[in-house]
Amino acid sequence: MPSTQMVTTTTTSAPAPVIVGNTAYTTTSGMPGSNTIVVTQAPPALQQEVVLAQPTSDHRWVPGYWTWRNDRYQWMAGHWELPPSSASVWIAPRWEQHGNSYKFFEGYWN
């Protein structure tokens, strides 16, 4: 059932996200081009995906994950991707629980 709770988005240069009142989520920015999403609703369970044929031996599978968009969780489907270098390793995006909220960490190539 959709929530009728008011949602607020905040952009700030504070190094840590701050939740004010009883908002469903807060977005903050600590570095240029970097956003932190904090949500008070637990993310859904990961979806099972069918991994399609690998396009080339250089491609790496990037699994799907839940992100937060338009005031709700949205599934981002897994896909094949070319890493920046052959030594690169994919660090998957993740949600971490912090008290009564969940903080999202973007995935990246390391």
pLDDT of the residue at 27: 36
- In percent, how much of the chain has pLDDT > 90? 65
- In percent, how much of the chain has pLDDT > 70? 68
Is pLDDT of 106 > 80? yes
pLDDT of the residue at 34: 53
Residue-range domain boundaries for the chain: 25-109
Spatial contact of 72 and 62, defined as CB atoms under 8 Å apart: no
Convert the pLDDT of each residue in 26-79 to its tens digit.
Answer: 333 333 345 688 999 999 999 999 999 999 999 999 999 999 999 899 999 999
pLDDT of the residue at 36: 80
Torsion from C-alpha of 93, 97, 101, 103, nearest 10 degrees: -20
